[in-house]
Amino acid sequence: MSNWETVIGLEVHVQLATHSKIFSASSTAFGAEANSQANAIDLAMPGTLPVLNRAAVEYAVMFGLAIDAEIGMTSVFERKNYFYPDLPKGYQTTQLDKPIVGPGRVEIELADGSKKSIRIHHAHLEEDAGKSLHEDFHGMSGIDLNRAGTPLIEIVSEPDMRSAEEAVAFARKLHSIVTSIGICDGKMAQGSMRFDVNISVRPRGSDTLGTRTETKNLNSFKFMHEAIALEVERQIDLLEEGGRVVQETRLYNGDSKVARSMRSKEEANDYRYFPCPDLLPVVLSEETLARLRSALPELPDARIARLAEQFSLSGYDAAQIGGDRATSDYFERVAASADAKLAANWINGELSAQLNSAELTIEQSPIAAEQLAALLQRISDNTLSSKMAREVFNALWQGERDVDAIIDQRGLRQVSDSGALSAMVAAVLADNSAMVADYLGTPAEKRKKKLGGFMGKIMQASKGQANPQQVNQILLEQLQALEG
Amino acid sequence: MDLAQLQKLATLSRLNIAPDQCDALAAELDNVLQLVDQLQAADTAGIEPMAHPLAISQPLRSDRAEAEADRSAFQAIAPAVDAGLYLVPKVIEE
């Protein structure tokens, strides 16, 4: 075990899944033509004033309720002043002293199954900035303000994590919560969730914090893990060589696996916050709070527990499925008319593998829940062997629709008629007397691997349609009879 | 307010202040700060901080997106545009 202890805190930017921006009615849809979603307010034209989006406020409150946090019944917007071309107003409208979500906690599960509670310092509402493009403009930078004004909550944790694994587990848990309650689409590649990681190390046993660095703007769990491992190593090397860590902002490049310091000017942190005179304090009523609380969808932990209980799933299966809202919705539709254990196996196995390699979400699955259920029914009633089921699955994936039609067209019915199977086995044994003699001459404890040869020939004779479990049993019986 | 403070403020505000204006400006800002000092002298012990002088709260609007912005109208008054982007002097961080 290392002599050093890692201390990690996270700041997480979550884009809220509203239709319009936080202070203007511009659309927040991703991928639109540059600046087609930037109106006079987003461009900070003189004379424009912000009007706050109710959905943004309510989504922030829903997050607070989901993590059992104190809710700021009166919250205040402030101006964070700095100049950057993707911030036309010259300030970011954000919250500081009176955020909408106060202290709360998020429970994570570690690899060994133990649980750990991560404290949330607060979460506040703010607006996103635009995007700067630095290439290809003849020495100029190009500015796209479509993202400017997209509502965000920034979730700030306490420095409660002690390893990259814990930090990633925490990040995944936040992703699961915000997508489960529907306040964020969770699309990391589109920047819907971005992580800033504060990292420091200290001698094990010390209770003072070391100097920290902040690695900004990580947008995948993989990069986050890599960036933390790299930075921890860098800091420990530095300290062991007698150097010291300088407080700084760093950037990690996930492609080159290299991090670098972002040299910031001395004054950079002087944001001169003050309450935004264009916005009044946001006051929540008890009625609003009660309405949002009662409308809060089932949270991931509760859903995992319910799935395990209601469908007798293993802890692993329940966590894999219940941690993601879309996956658990899909699972419940399949399990409504098919065996739940089988459904969990296929969703976590074949389906999730295919979706991953095609880079699709389960909501984009070419196989509808009802089709998968129909397929699983044909496994349960022994029409299909698992090998045949995979063939039907592939046909469904390619766009064929009807499970029974696929089975009929391809002659995929499994033969489970024991009379027919017995005859088939007997014929194969009769045709392969040398193999039979070899088998019978082999000591009992080594016979098992000889069975494969017979199985192969029988499956071949049946064109792959014999029920393998039944064949296996019949084969053993017939070989035993020959022995006597 | 000394000249170093004034210079820092000017940098933060992206203002270019001519050297011969510095003394006069520092004196003016000193007057403003004295006014603030006067306000600071008021006894506010036990009084809840106020974020806004009006005793009303923020009205909220429904989350409805409007049609696309009229980009060409906005870009007609921009100094430089290309491919729908606003062009600005290069700002990439070192």
- CATH of residue A429's domain is 1.10.10.410
Q: Is residue B34 part of a domain?
A: yes
B7 touching A (Cβ < 8 Å): no
- The pLDDT, as a whole number, for residue A139 is 83
Minimum CA–CA partner of B61 in chain A: A53
**Cβ-defined contact of B85 to A34 (cutoff 8 Å):** yes
What 3-state class would DSSP assign to A335? Answer: helix
Tokens 């880079």 correspond to A359
Q: What is the ipTM of this complex?
A: 0.87
Q: Is residue A293 part of a domain?
A: no
B77 touching A (Cβ < 8 Å): no
Q: Is residue B83 part of a domain?
A: no
Residues A156 and A218 in one domain: yes
* Residue A261 to chain B, least CA–CA distance (Å): 9
List, for chain B, all residue ranges whose pLDDT scores fall below the cut of 50: 94
Residue B21 domain boundaries:
3-41
Residues A327 and A216 in one domain: no
Number of domains in chain B: 1
Candidates A297, A338, A413, A308; CA nearest to A367 is A338
**Cβ-defined contact of A38 to B69 (cutoff 8 Å):** yes
Number of domains in chain A: 3
Q: Is residue B11 part of a domain?
A: yes
- The pLDDT, as a whole number, for residue A190 is 93
How does DSSP assign A440-460, residue by residue? HTS-GGG-GGGHHHHHHHHHH
Tokens standing for A370? 């009802």
Q: Which residues contact A380 (CB under 8 A, 6 or more apart)?
A: A338, A339, A342
With contacts defined as CB-CB under 8 Å, which chain A residues touch B75?
35
pTM, rounded to two decimals: 0.84
Cβ atoms of B63 and A31 closer than 8 Å: no
What 3-state class would DSSP assign to A400? Answer: coil
Among B52, B68, B71, select the one facing A281 at the smallest CB separation.
Answer: B52
Final residue in a domain of this structure, among A288, A308, A327? A288
Candidates A170, A232, A73, A85; CA nearest to B57 is A73
Residues A60 and A160 in one domain: yes
- Rg (C-alpha) for chain A, rounded Å, is 30
- The pLDDT, as a whole number, for residue A264 is 58
pLDDT in tens, chain A (484 residues): 689 999 999 999 999 999 999 999 999 999 999 999 999 999 999 999 999 999 999 999 999 999 999 999 999 999 999 988 999 999 999 999 999 999 999 999 998 889 999 999 999 999 999 999 887 777 889 999 999 999 999 999 999 999 999 999 999 999 999 999 999 999 999 999 999 999 999 999 999 999 999 999 999 999 999 999 999 999 999 999 999 999 999 999 989 999 999 865 444 568 999 999 999 999 999 999 999 999 999 999 999 999 999 999 998 899 999 999 999 999 999 999 999 999 999 999 999 999 999 989 999 999 999 999 999 999 998 888 888 899 999 999 999 999 999 998 888 877 777 888 889 899 999 999 899 999 988 888 888 888 888 999 998 888 878 888 888 889 999 998 887 6
**Cβ-defined contact of B60 to A38 (cutoff 8 Å):** no
- The pLDDT, as a whole number, for residue A484 is 66
Q: Is residue A385 part of a domain?
A: yes
B55 touching A (Cβ < 8 Å): no
Q: Is residue B15 part of a domain?
A: yes
B94 touching A (Cβ < 8 Å): yes
**Cβ-defined contact of A140 to B88 (cutoff 8 Å):** yes
**Cβ-defined contact of A25 to B61 (cutoff 8 Å):** yes
**Cβ-defined contact of A275 to B51 (cutoff 8 Å):** yes
With contacts defined as CB-CB under 8 Å, which chain A residues touch B5?
none
Among A73, A95, A141, A273, which would you mutate to test the B interface (most chain B Cβ atoms within 10 Å of its Cβ)?
Answer: A141
Final residue in a domain of this structure, among A242, A270, A288? A288
- The pLDDT, as a whole number, for residue A266 is 46
A120 to each of A12, A63, A175, how far by Cα in Å?
A: 11, 11, 15
Residues A121 and A138 in one domain: yes
Q: Is residue B87 part of a domain?
A: no
Residue A194 domain boundaries:
4-288
